[in-house]
Amino acid sequence: MKTLLLGDVCPTGLTNPLFDKMDIDTLFGDTTTLFENNDINLVNLECALTEHDKDIIKFGPALKACYNTAKVLKQLGVNCCGLSNNHIFDFGKKGAMDTIKALEAEGILHTGFGENYEDSRKNLVIEKDGEKVCIIAVCEREYSYALENRMGARPFDEFETIDDIRHAKEMYDRVIVTYHGGKEYCRYPSPRLRNACRAMARNGADVVLCQHSHCIGCYELYDDCHILYGQGNFHFVKTEFTNETRKECFKTSLVAKYDTTSGKIDFIPLVANAPGINIAKGDIAKEIMDDFYKRNEQLKTDEWKQGWHDFCISMKDTYYKSIRDAANEASTDFDNHRFAHHLDCQAHTDVWRELFKTTNMTNEIE
The residue type of 165 is I
Mean pLDDT across 352-365: 89
Adjacency order of strands within the sheet including 124-128: 124-128, 131-139, 174-180, 207-211, 225-231, 216-222
Query: Using one digit for the tens of pLDDT, what is the confidence trace for 17-52?
Result: 999 999 999 999 999 999 999 999 999 999 999 999
Is residue 262 helix, strand or coil?
coil
Count CA within 13 A, CB hemisphere, residue 303: 10
Q: What average pLDDT does the structure give for the chain?
A: 97
d(CA 350, CA 113): 25
Query: What SS3 class is residue 40?
Result: strand
Q: What is the pLDDT of residue 364?
A: 82
Confidence of residue 298 (pLDDT cuts 50, 70, 90): very high
Interval 314-328 mean pLDDT: 96
Q: Rounded to the nearest 10 degrees, how much is the dihedral formed by the CA atoms of 187, 189, 281, 236?
A: -80
Task: Look at residue 365 and tell me whether its pLDDT is greater than 80.
Answer: no
250-278 average pLDDT score: 98
Query: What pLDDT is recorded for position 102?
Result: 98
* CA–CA separation, 199 and 183 (whole Å): 19
Residues in CB range of 250: below 8 A, 6 or more apart: 214, 215, 233, 236, 237, 238, 241, 272
Stretch 8-19: mean pLDDT, rounded? 98
Taking 70 as the threshold, does the pLDDT of residue 366 lie above it?
no
8-state DSSP, 214: S
Average pLDDT over residues 138-163: 97
In contact, 248 and 214? CB cutoff 8 Å: no
pLDDT at 342 > cutoff 70: yes
Q: State yes or no: pLDDT of 306 exceeds 70.
A: yes
297 or 361, greater pLDDT: 297
- Maximum C-alpha span of the chain: 71
Q: Which of 280, 220, 224 is nearest to 255 (CA)?
A: 280
- Average pLDDT for residues 95-106, to the nearest whole number? 98
Pairing outcome for strands 48-49 and 64-65: parallel
